[in-house]
Amino acid sequence: MAAITNLLATSTSANATTYSTNAFTPAASSIIFAFVAASGTTATNPWLEISTESWRRFTLVTTAQWGGGANRLYGFISNGSVSSASPMKAFFNCAQDAATGAIIQMAQVTGMSRTGLTAIRQIAVVDSDSAASTVPTVTFAVSTLTANACIAGVGYNSSLAGCIPMSGWTEGADLGYTTPSTALECMYRNSGTTSTTVSSGAPISSLNCMMAFELNVSTIDMPMGTNLQCMYIR
């Protein structure tokens, strides 16, 4: 069974085009998922990478915005599995448009044979402002499968830990900075959900956006001489 665990979350309000995490050590053969909440940037094609891995660059799965388009939430997944359990750092680059700060949250997923987009069954995004004092909510196209792990992120205008996870989900991070007020919530569930809806556990007091991902824990069965085409539901 796949299992998601938080690796770390880092936060800085520096005005920059490149941000790095502290060192973390994921498990060998795990894949890595990352959320980045960046303030003051409109970059549509940023990148995230770990230089110690042969696959280096992550795949940018999707983006969302909040605060009238002033801030961005990004979801990334690694293009390969971790070669060995050794210390490493991640680097986020938004050279298209410098940010006024960024929060980077890294989580590992063990027990998966798929990587990159093939590891994702479906995504759900609220790509606009959700009003203050509402519950951030996204809706998948189809019900999730009970064996699949799910992970979600919320970007919002707050410097405090003001978002809580949905009942039955685990909080990976809730981190923010003050100038400008920016926060990132990450939550996940390793199995047992069979719904189309993912939300926070309660309303939050500021503008926000949200994205969620259902992972595909099935194994890849590729007989010799067969070409495999992978798709995901969006």
Domain boundaries, the chain: 3-215
Per the listing, tokens 């997944």 go with 77
Whether 58 contacts 2, CB under 8 Å = no
Residue 228: other Cβ atoms inside 10 A: 9
CA pair distance 162, 203, nearest whole angstrom: 9
Cis before 180 (ω within 30): yes
Q: What is the pLDDT of residue 221?
A: 58
CA pair distance 35, 47, nearest whole angstrom: 12
Whether 188 contacts 152, CB under 8 Å = yes
Q: How many helices (H) does the chain have, and how many strands (E)?
A: 0, 15
CA pair distance 115, 216, nearest whole angstrom: 10
Q: What are the pLDDT tens digits along the chain (234 aa)?
A: 899 999 999 999 999 999 999 999 999 999 999 999 999 999 999 999 999 999 999 999 999 999 989 999 999 999 999 999 999 999 999 999 999 999 999 999 999 999 999 999 999 999 888 888 889 999 999 999 999 999 999 999 988 778 999 999 999 999 999 999 999 999 999 999 999 999 999 999 889 999 999 999 988 655 545 444 444 443
Whether 222 contacts 228, CB under 8 Å = yes
Angle at the Cα of 116 from the Cα atoms of 112 and 118, rounded to 5 degrees? 70
Instruction: Tell me phi and psi for residue 185, to 5 degrees.
Output: -110, 135
Q: What is the pLDDT of residue 131?
A: 83
Per the listing, tokens 């690796």 go with 7
The answer for 134, left when phi > 0, alpha when psi is -120 to 50, beta otherwise, is beta
- Inter-CA distances, 223 with 110, 157, 226, Å: 24, 49, 6
pTM above 0.85, yes or no: yes
CA pair distance 156, 39, nearest whole angstrom: 10
Angle at the Cα of 139 from the Cα atoms of 146 and 188, rounded to 5 degrees? 50
Whether 74 contacts 93, CB under 8 Å = no
Report the amino acid identity of residue 198.
V
